[in-house]
Amino acid sequence: MDQSQLRSLEARCIQEEQPFCTAACPIHVDVRAFMTALAKGDVREARKVLDRTMPFPEILGRICDQPCRPFCKRGEIGDPLAVGRLERFCVDATQAVVKPPRLPAKGGKVAVLGAGLSGMTAALDLSRKGRPATLITGSPAIGGSLHRLADALLPKEVFTEAEATLTGYGVTIRTGSALDRQTVASVLDDFDAVYCDWDDFDAGLLPFAPGTPDPLTLALDRAGCFGGGGLEAGRTFSVMHQVENGRRAALSVERSLQKVSLTAQREKEGACATRMYTVTSYFAPAAEILPADETAGYTAEEAQREAARCIRCECMECVKQCVYLQEYKEYPKTLVRKIYNNQAIVQGTRNANKMINACSLCVQCTVICPHDFPVAEVCRTTRMEMVETGHMPPSPHDFALEDMRFSLSEFCSLSRHQPGTDSSAFLFYPGCQLAGSAPEAVQRTYAFLAAHLHGGVGLMLGCCGIPAHWAGQAALFTETMAAFTAEVARLGNPKVITACSSCLSVFRAFAPELTVTSVWEVLDTLPLPPSQIRPSAPLTIHDPCTTREQPELRAGVRSLCAKLGIEVVEHAFNGEITDCCGYGGLMQFANKGLGKKAATHKAGRSDLDGLAYCAMCRDNLAASGRPVAHLLDYLFAAGDQDPLARANPGFSQRHENRARLKSDLLTHLWQEEAVIRPAHTALRLLISQELEALLTSRLILVEDLQKVIHHAEQTGRYLINPATKRRLAKYRPVRVTYWVEYEPTGEGYLVHNGYSHRMLLPEDAQ
């Protein structure tokens, strides 16, 4: 990712866009922060918000004509907030808190002709910027048409206060000036830049025809002259617009003195559009709090209640649904910046590695995002970059990649035409996880397909390579896909029927030349299997994340359920916005705790028991404590076993199941010799359930223990505790050293403990 890619990605996330009120405000008051403070009862903090943006809060806070109000999202669910009334409450209840800084004087002579609100604003802004202005008015006092407002609305003291503010910042005020064409002409000659406030200055006094001020810069038809702020024909008197004009003019004057572009990058000045996206349906409607005494305005309690109606507009739509973004407390814009910074580190700790590897790559956020922010794609391509540059830590993906290699090894992989045939019209591809989780279901499904489809149904056991794809291991993934497509070609390019939606999505994306479909769509065209059963109560269905873009597959599943008589209850997060179970993107290996959270989150989308049709979803959701069945368990029932009660087999059992499935199929269906497995797999180990859970959490397989014990017993190299007779041995098959504490018994080896490390000891280095 280079900097321009970062910028364009950042721009797609709108979380930091201005809320609707701030965008609509001509001077961009942070109304959201103002409301947040008031809702907490912190009126002083609220005043700070006004002081930071408003030029004369004691005036503007009392008479703001709240142009933001029609844009308030609260209006969709009740009344828009009473912004003006709350500002008035705040200003009445507080003195100024923040005094914006005054920059050192930079030179340049600036005059402001007319001391209405826009002239006052221009003079104040310029003086703060270090361009002390001279404010000239023919009127006896500053304020222009504000003096026409009732005293109750705007007490006269505010003008004294404003005058003090202006002089405090170095503004020279000349009230009651005798202004005629001649004096005005000399002002134009004496000063480098002049702003005319039409509210309090007669354009007829100018020695030139001013023309209409340029809407962007307020420039008049003479260099260095600007004008604005007067009453506008056909429009209500808007004080906020006057202030905006004064502020706009001040910036133009500043730029003209600096001799830089008057027009560059001014799009966000004044009321502007925002790309903010806020969904209001989460909030209960609430009507405006009206003051009990209209003349006195809000009491503190009323103000607090009214401000509390603010829904604090933000987007966060993706974060609301995604446990990953919640876990790392990021939204896409901040996430991608952290990733960019992580990748830029040459020497030092890459703190975001774990975060990059923990995304499930499920794409839910992208579907939810109004601008399709591609979090998954950023994370996955970053992983590829980490692999390519040698910065990918080994531990997050090693286990899953080893598991994949095992599925593809001679002990698990298989590819055959249907017994007794030498060609295949179809090829059943159950996928590595179903083979590991429910090998009997694979056998039954295959037997059924073989009996009902014509033209021969081949069988292929293996792994589609998606773990390598997720891990950013591009070379391994390409190699795996190439081997798969070559093998399908060798079988005569039959139509591939997958039972795993991940395999299906990978084949569709990376082997588009193949004809691929899901087992669900195929089963939907066949008669129901004879051994089907149905659950006694309705089940909620959990779509796997890899079916997000496979509507036909999801429809096939539902059609089958209807035929089976399973009453399916849809929860709100299925289909295109379905969650990941924690396996996707190898999340559960990079961040174990987060993987569990993801499973619990998905299972918790409904209070009902669940129905899954992805082996990983089924096992992860079941492990999270919810009864969840796999659809094949109902289609091809095994005796009176309750599909909802089947436990998560765990990694070791899954591993073993795959090898056993191949042996069973080879010997029973194809009448071939089973593959001879290494001697260590024959060792019988006795492991308590408690220890098994610990080993699973440490990603240690029973086969790893078998390797250690076998090696120890063969070589005699182990430690012994003379008192307990226990043995402690270690073995490093590839990149991990496994330790096992055990003792031989008559029935096998009783295992007491197992742990591992990646660090290399000198004697293992040879």
Partner 1 sequence: MSTFSFIETTDWLCAGCNQPLQPTKVQVTYLNSAFDVELMTCPACGFTLVPESLAVGKMLEVEQLLEDK
**Contacting partner 1 within 394-433 (CB under 8 A):** 394-395
- Scanning 233-241, 343-351, 541-549, 630-638 for contacts with partner 1 by CB under 8 A, the matching segment is 343-351
Q: How far is the CB of 765 from partner 1 (least distance, A)?
A: 7
Q: Is 195 in the site for partner 1 (CB under 8 A)?
A: no
Select from 666, 739, 743, 748 the one that contacts partner 1 (CB under 8 A): 739
The H or E element spanning position 751 is strand 748-757
The H or E element spanning position 3 is helix 3-12
Distance of CA 751 to the CA centre of its chain: 44
Select from 152, 233, 260, 765 the one that contacts partner 1 (CB under 8 A): 765
Q: How far apart are CA 2 and CA 8, in angstroms?
A: 10
Q: Give yes or no for a contact between 667 and 454, defined as CB atoms under 8 angstroms apart.
A: no
- Scanning 311-319, 348-356, 446-454, 552-560 for contacts with partner 1 by CB under 8 A, the matching segment is 348-356
Q: Could you give the C-alpha distances from 430 to 267, 348, 471, 647, in angstroms and in order?
A: 57, 44, 22, 20
Q: How far apart are CA 244 and CA 26, in angstroms?
A: 6
Tokens at 240, concatenated: 């906020």
Q: Please say which residue, 390 or 639, places its beta carbon nearer to partner 1.
A: 390
Q: Is 749 in the site for partner 1 (CB under 8 A)?
A: no
Select from 716, 734, 746, 747 the one that contacts partner 1 (CB under 8 A): 716
Q: How far is the CB of 694 from partner 1 (least distance, A)?
A: 10
Binding mask 361-400 for partner 1 (x = CB under 8 A): --------------------------------xxx-----
Count other C-beta atoms under 10 Å from residue 301's C-beta: 11
Select from 12, 109, 255, 350 the one that contacts partner 1 (CB under 8 A): 350
Q: CA angle, 467 as apex, 652 and 465 as ends, to 5°?
A: 105
Q: How far is the CB of 473 from partner 1 (least distance, A)?
A: 16
Binding mask 719-738 for partner 1 (x = CB under 8 A): xxxxxx--xx-x------x-
- Scanning 120-128, 399-407, 671-679, 714-722 for contacts with partner 1 by CB under 8 A, the matching segment is 714-722
Sign of CA dihedral 259, 262, 265, 268: positive
Q: Please say which residue, 452 or 592, places its beta carbon nearer to partner 1.
A: 592
Q: How far is the CB of 744 from partner 1 (least distance, A)?
A: 12
Q: How far is the CB of 365 from partner 1 (least distance, A)?
A: 25
Select from 182, 186, 351, 667 the one that contacts partner 1 (CB under 8 A): 351
Q: How far is the CB of 70 from partner 1 (least distance, A)?
A: 51
Q: Please say which residue, 150 or 765, places its beta carbon nearer to partner 1.
A: 765
Tokens at 432, concatenated: 């590595």
**Contacting partner 1 within 449-488 (CB under 8 A):** none
Binding mask 668-707 for partner 1 (x = CB under 8 A): ------------------------------x---------
Identity of residue 419: P
Q: How far apart are CA 749 and CA 766, in angstroms?
A: 28
Select from 15, 353, 624, 706 the one that contacts partner 1 (CB under 8 A): 353
- For the chain, first and last CA: distance in Å? 40
The H or E element spanning position 458 is strand 457-461
Q: How far is the CB of 411 from partner 1 (least distance, A)?
A: 28
Sign of CA dihedral 712, 715, 719, 722: positive
Q: How far is the CB of 755 from partner 1 (least distance, A)?
A: 5
What count of Cα atoms within 13 Å lies in the side-chain half-sphere of residue 399? Answer: 22
Select from 324, 331, 373, 718 the one that contacts partner 1 (CB under 8 A): 718
**Contacting partner 1 within 264-323 (CB under 8 A):** none
Q: Please say which residue, 688 or 724, places its beta carbon nearer to partner 1.
A: 724
Identity of residue 542: H
Tokens 């009323």 belong to residue: 302
Q: Please say which residue, 526 or 760, places its beta carbon nearer to partner 1.
A: 760
Q: Please say which residue, 236 or 766, places its beta carbon nearer to partner 1.
A: 766
Q: Please say which residue, 40 or 757, places its beta carbon nearer to partner 1.
A: 757
Q: How far apart are CA 564 and CA 346, in angstroms?
A: 59
Q: Please say which residue, 460 or 740, places its beta carbon nearer to partner 1.
A: 740
Q: Could you give the C-alpha distances from 448 to 138, 442, 606, in angstroms and in order?
A: 98, 10, 32
- The burial class, CB within 10 Å (0-12 / 13-18 / 19+), for 451 is exposed
Tokens at 253, concatenated: 């004057």
Q: How far is the CB of 254 from partner 1 (least distance, A)?
A: 47
DSSP secondary structure of 552-600: HHHHHHHHHHHHHT--EE--TT-GGGPPP-S-GGGHHHH-HHHHHHHHH
Read off the DSSP letter of residue 546.
G
Q: Please say which residue, 32 or 730, places its beta carbon nearer to partner 1.
A: 730
In this structure, the chain runs to a length of 766
Q: Is 760 in the site for partner 1 (CB under 8 A)?
A: yes
Q: Please say which residue, 32 or 707, places its beta carbon nearer to partner 1.
A: 707
Tell me which residue of 122, 129, 88 sits closest to 108, measured CA to CA. 129
Q: How far is the CB of 337 from partner 1 (least distance, A)?
A: 18
Select from 151, 189, 294, 763 the one that contacts partner 1 (CB under 8 A): 763
Q: Please say which residue, 350 or 605, places its beta carbon nearer to partner 1.
A: 350
Q: Please say which residue, 95 or 715, places its beta carbon nearer to partner 1.
A: 715
Q: Is 348 in the site for partner 1 (CB under 8 A)?
A: yes
- Scanning 165-173, 258-266, 513-521, 755-763 for contacts with partner 1 by CB under 8 A, the matching segment is 755-763
Tokens 């993934």 belong to residue: 477
Q: How far is the CB of 349 from partner 1 (least distance, A)?
A: 5
Q: Please say which residue, 209 or 765, places its beta carbon nearer to partner 1.
A: 765
Distance of CA 446 to the CA centre of its chain: 40
- The burial class, CB within 10 Å (0-12 / 13-18 / 19+), for 638 is middle
DSSP secondary structure of 107-129: ---EEEE--SHHHHHHHHHHHHT
Q: How many residues in the shown chain lie near partner 1 by CB under 8 A?
A: 36
Q: How far is the CB of 284 from partner 1 (least distance, A)?
A: 45
Q: Give yes or no for a contact between 507 and 464, defined as CB atoms under 8 angstroms apart.
A: yes
Q: How far is the CB of 5 from partner 1 (least distance, A)?
A: 23
Please give the backbone phi and psi of residue 712, each rounded to the nearest 5 degrees, phi first.
-65, -45
Q: How far is the CB of 450 from partner 1 (least distance, A)?
A: 47
- The burial class, CB within 10 Å (0-12 / 13-18 / 19+), for 595 is buried
Q: Give yes or no for a contact between 68 and 273, defined as CB atoms under 8 angstroms apart.
A: no
Q: How far is the CB of 266 from partner 1 (least distance, A)?
A: 44
Q: Is 591 in the site for partner 1 (CB under 8 A)?
A: no
Q: How far is the CB of 704 from partner 1 (least distance, A)?
A: 14
Distance of CA 657 to the CA centre of its chain: 37
- Scanning 218-226, 551-559, 629-637, 754-762 for contacts with partner 1 by CB under 8 A, the matching segment is 754-762
Q: Please say which residue, 354 or 571, places its beta carbon nearer to partner 1.
A: 354
Beta strands in 277-410, from DSSP E residues, in sequence order:
none
Beginning with the edge strand found earlier in the chain, give each strand of the sheet holding 414-416 in spatial order: 414-416, 457-461, 426-429, 495-498, 516-518
Cα-only R_g, the chain = 37
Q: How far is the CB of 465 from partner 1 (least distance, A)?
A: 24
Chain residues in the site for partner 1 (CB under 8 A): 348-351, 353-354, 393-395, 698, 715-724, 727-728, 730, 737, 739, 753, 755-763, 765
